[in-house]
Amino acid sequence: MQLTPEQLPLLNDNQPGVMVIRGAAGSGKTTTALMRLRQLCSTRLTRRARMGSDRPVRVLVLTFNRTLEGYVRALAEEQVAEDEHLELSVTTISKWAKSLVSEAFPLNPDAAAVVLRSLCAAFPGDTDFLCDEVNYLLGRFRDDDIDSYVGSRRDGRGASPRMDDATRVRLLDEVVRPYQSAKHANNMADWNDLAVAAATAATDEVWDVIVVDETQDFSANELRAVLAHIDEDTSVTFIIDAAQQIYKKGFTWKEIGVEPVVRPLKANYRNTQEIAAFARPLMAGLPLSADGALPDLSAATRSGSKPVVLKGRYNGQVRWALRNVVDNADLATESVAFLQFRQGAWSDTLKTALSGAGVEWVDLTRQSVWPGGDESVAVCTLHSAKGLEFDHVVILGINGQVTPHGTDEDDTDLDSLRRLLAMGVGRARKTVTIGYKPGEASKLISYLAAGTFRPVTV
């Protein structure tokens, strides 16, 4: 891979400390970070040999979910040559945190969620929203600083419903503290408790090099756990684009105690100009922090066909996609991904249609190992596609049934769904096809901009 003027400073910076690689979808953040990983590993191995140290170079690459873990592992192993003096670990944040606590740690997030939901149901307001809010604030603030939630700025959630300071005080007193007490009394822990425990876990080893992908979807406490296991000689790289944040978490670099060197990447190497133009309206007007970047139309240099928007019954959408996307793709060199908002009956219908058409396909949802077969067609949820890329992306059945949200224009769930769809569209290198049934269309369809796509009735 030929290095660009944007990438060279990142690869030449081999100093310890924290670096943030920030860029929009398609800017090559992960690839650049892993190329930097190769440089850092080489530098550390050379220094180890010069100093005559017996200690191996310890390298940690963290991802958010299992599917991305498999993909990043494949990329990392391409970049980092095997060496008996180097220990490379590629894993998810949850697996890594579990490895630091004892086997007796009472992790039971499902049981904890039942307790939280019952407390939120007794509090005025939407129960789903309140559960999200509690998980957000517990993930952002330290246990001894939970009162800072009152009066704090809440980015990335939208303005509705509003949580004024008086309501926040009540939420802490009537939900959060009783929830924490109930977990303690019943010897159960949730995912945030795991992150807090990982941060305080005793270990004699620190990491020499750390890379954290999709950092925008990590909680502050998860990042604090990572930073608790470094020293002044560690090189840490965070890869981030807050515009693609699809989980309701939040943090600031100051809150987690770092002042990183920020390296922006602006070029769009993945998408065509047409795909970038199609995705941008989905994100327009959404809250965007300093760590986010909208798809840049001018940064995409390749041109291609306009995305296709199918209108009709789901079975008709599937038939059209098989005939016009899968059959037209060169599956020896190209990949096709069918991305879905959720699994269920429609997912089963799609898989049956693919098999019936003689298409070899693989399910990537929650896979921790990147498939090594010859399949070039993938099926997975949009959440599992995060961080991946494909030549052709197909997202069918975008109906209200699979995209539930509130009624306000700035509803939290609607904002998340817009980001999720834009993220899915941004996975495509060459073509995008989406579909919906008239009369049952998700509100997401209303955000598409006329002139950026080719409508097709099926």
List the domain boundaries for the chain. Answer: 8-102+193-266, 109-188, 270-457
**Rounded (10°) CA dihedral 193, 365, 446, 269:** 100
What pLDDT is stored for residue 158 in this prediction?
Answer: 46
Question: With bands split at pLDDT 50, 70 and 90, how would you rate the model's confidence at 305?
Answer: very high
Backbone phi, then psi, for 219, in 5-degree steps?
A: -85, 165
Give the separation between CA 150 and CA 337, rounded to whole angstroms: 43
Identical fold for domains 8-102+193-266 and 270-457, yes or no, is yes
Question: With bands split at pLDDT 50, 70 and 90, how would you rate the model's confidence at 3?
Answer: low
The region that residue 45 occupies, defined by phi over 0 for left and psi between -120 and 50 for alpha, beta otherwise, is: alpha
Backbone phi, then psi, for 287, in 5-degree steps?
A: -55, 135
Question: With bands split at pLDDT 50, 70 and 90, how would you rate the model's confidence at 290?
Answer: low
| CATH number, domain 8-102+193-266, options 3.90.1150.10, 3.40.50.300, 3.40.50.920, 3.40.640.10 | 3.40.50.300
What pLDDT is stored for residue 248 in this prediction?
Answer: 63
Angle 427-428-434 from CA coordinates, rounded to 5°: 95
209, pLDDT greater than 90:
yes
What pLDDT is stored for residue 151 in this prediction?
Answer: 85
What pLDDT is stored for residue 285 in this prediction?
Answer: 79
Please tell me the least confidently modeled range out of 38-47, 122-131, 215-224, 361-370.
361-370
What pLDDT is stored for residue 383 in this prediction?
Answer: 85
What is the separation, in whole angstroms, between the first and last Cα of the chain?
41
Reference 340, options 404, 420, 281; nearest CA is 420
The whole-number average pLDDT for the span 6-21 is 84
Alpha helices by DSSP H, listed for 213-264, are 220-227
Sign of CA dihedral 183, 184, 188, 189: positive
| CATH number, domain 270-457, options 3.90.1420.10, 3.40.50.720, 2.60.40.180, 3.40.50.300 | 3.40.50.300
